[in-house]
Amino acid sequence: MSPPDSLPVVETFHSLQGEGHHCGRSAFFIRLAGCKVGCTWCDTKHSWPLENHPRRNIDALAQEAVEAARNGAAFTVITGGEPLHHDLSRLTDVLAEHGNETHLETSGVDRLSGSPDWITLSPKRHCPPRRELLQRCDELKVIVHELDDLSFAEEMASQTSPGTVLLLQPGWQSEDGQRLSIEHVRCQRRWKLGLQTHKWLGLR
């Protein structure tokens, strides 16, 4: 089956990447609709139902990304929702044809499609990622709310490649998450602390 020429889109916007290894850089975001992973702490629950969001033509999305790049965006972030619920081949191909660097944010529960330049994998304890995504990801970002999240983080990290960037990110306004993350990073040199700076700054 050939990849679709449209995808369900919640929103597009040009802002700063607020979290992860590329935090603080200018980026164009494409937020795709649909997610069946069901994290209780999810801050984009409005993205879950596919039927609430229109399908948009991929060429038109790429044109928006080109315009954002002209205005300073260093790369395009494909986020969600869970983007890999969809076949991303055509989207990443078209973005690449336009010279756009693409970053994918995923929970890793589906097979990888497309050819993103950077993969941020944020694995979930209740719905673990596929092994191929763990081995392929450039950045592993584990959300921390409680002690068991740290052992899960180490279990996930043990399956990544040697160059993968490891980030512990406290759940939003989780005091336990902050304390546990800071203490773990202080004692484990391979890990870095990640923060959702866009939320602290009130950015999109």
Using CB under 6 A, list all residues that contact ligand SF4. 35, 37-39, 42, 44, 47, 80-82, 107
Q: What is the rounded CA–CA span in Å between residue 112 and residue 105?
A: 11
Alpha-carbon distance 191 to 167, whole Å?
A: 6
Which residue, 69 or 196, has its beta carbon nearer to ligand SF4? Answer: 196
Q: Which of 128, 145, 104 is nearest to 37 (CA)?
A: 128
Minimum CB distance to ligand SF4 smaller for 94 or for 129: 129
Q: Measured from the CB of residue 190, what is the shortest distance to ligand SF4 in angstroms?
A: 24
Closest approach, Cβ 71 to ligand SF4, in A, equals 27
Please give the Cα distance from 60 to 66 (Å, whole number). 10
Instruction: Considering the complex, state which of residue 108 and residue 114 has its C-beta at the smaller distance from ligand SF4.
Output: 108
Least separation in angstroms between residue 81's CB and ligand SF4 is 5
Dump the DSSP string for 134-146. HHH-SEEEEEESS
Q: Give the separation between CA 27 and CA 163, rounded to whole angstroms.
A: 23
Q: How far is the CB of 66 from ligand SF4 (least distance, A)?
A: 26
Nearest approach, Cβ of residue 82 and ligand SF4 (Å): 5
Q: Which residue has the tokens 């629950």?
A: 45
69 versus 194: smaller Cβ distance to ligand SF4: 194
Q: Which is nearer to ligand SF4, 94 or 120 (CB)?
A: 120
Q: Of the candidates 149, 107, 105, which has an alpha carbon nearest to the alpha carbon of residue 129?
A: 107
15 versus 188: smaller Cβ distance to ligand SF4: 15
E-assigned strands of 71-193?
A: 75-79, 102-106, 118-121, 139-144, 165-170, 191-193
Min separation Cβ 105 and ligand SF4, Å: 8
